Amino acid sequence: MPVKSIKNWLFGGDEKKAKRSEKPVPREFKPDLKRLKPYGDHIGDGALQLSFTLPLPPSAEAKEAARLYAENLGLERVNVACAEAIGSSFTFFVVYGFSPSTIDVTRIKVRHPPFENLDYETLLVLAKEKIGRKIVVVGATTGSDAHTVGIDAILNRKGYAGDFGLEYYPCFQVVNLRAQVENADLVRKAVELKADALLVSKLVTQQDQHLKDLKDLLKLLKQEKGLSPNLLKIAGGPRITHPIATKLGFDAGFGTGTSPAEVASFIVQEMSKRMKR
């Protein structure tokens, strides 16, 4: 439908009214970073959308329980927009509300893996000059985790979002063990191939199973004497951050949205540093 027709349909043929209703977009908006609030209908209104499940059968009482729970979280003017049954004993809710809370963004400091994101040619030159051989990278999704999307995106040649995976780089020898690999098998493979870098992807996070699996892997790595003393240990997944990974004992952690080029850059630069020691 042409724009003119849409305006006629919305405003009963009064295009002047349509034009009056169009609010100009500000050319430049500078948020208050010291007192930042969520944005809904207008800047700084604090509007939030939450979804959650209560172990209650659908009823007016369950809906009121959801509203009161949201209020207990500090939300104001709460509206329960959706209440859908999940079986006979659970109800899924979507609620809207407004939060008076603000956040001072200027005080936030996030730790990231220490590396510079290199372009393809620069990375290859650095690998040749500082390392001078193929870098052996072994990756897997461990335990009962059957998801391979993350590890495949980083390691497979096709990569994702137009960014080629590590198999595309001639400086890497990549072995992707894929999913449901036992920690002991991963360690044995790393010893067999004389791995320079170990990449572990974890997606299943119920009851912090990903953290338990990663801790168990680190215990096995510490006990194994046949590994390279410079082995890079890298963890990744939607619930993994660099601070979480390093606190566990990994060298780096990469979360959602990480590109293969970032992982490649980190491995080459960190290996270059360690080979100087």
Give the catalytic positions in this structure.
Answer: 158
Give dist(CA 177, CA 142) in Å, integer: 9
| Other CB atoms within 10 Å distance of the CB of residue 145 | 23
Residue whose token pair is 């063990």: 177
Give the residue among 127, 110, 154 at the shortest CA–CA distance from 262: 154
Give the residue among 268, 214, 207, 265 at the shortest CA–CA distance from 241: 214
Give dist(CA 107, CA 33) in Å, integer: 9
Give the residue among 184, 190, 208 at the shortest CA–CA distance from 138: 190
User: Strand, helix or coil at 72?
Assistant: helix
Residue pair 241/224 in contact by the 8 Å Cβ criterion: no
Give the residue among 240, 219, 216 at the shortest CA–CA distance from 150: 240
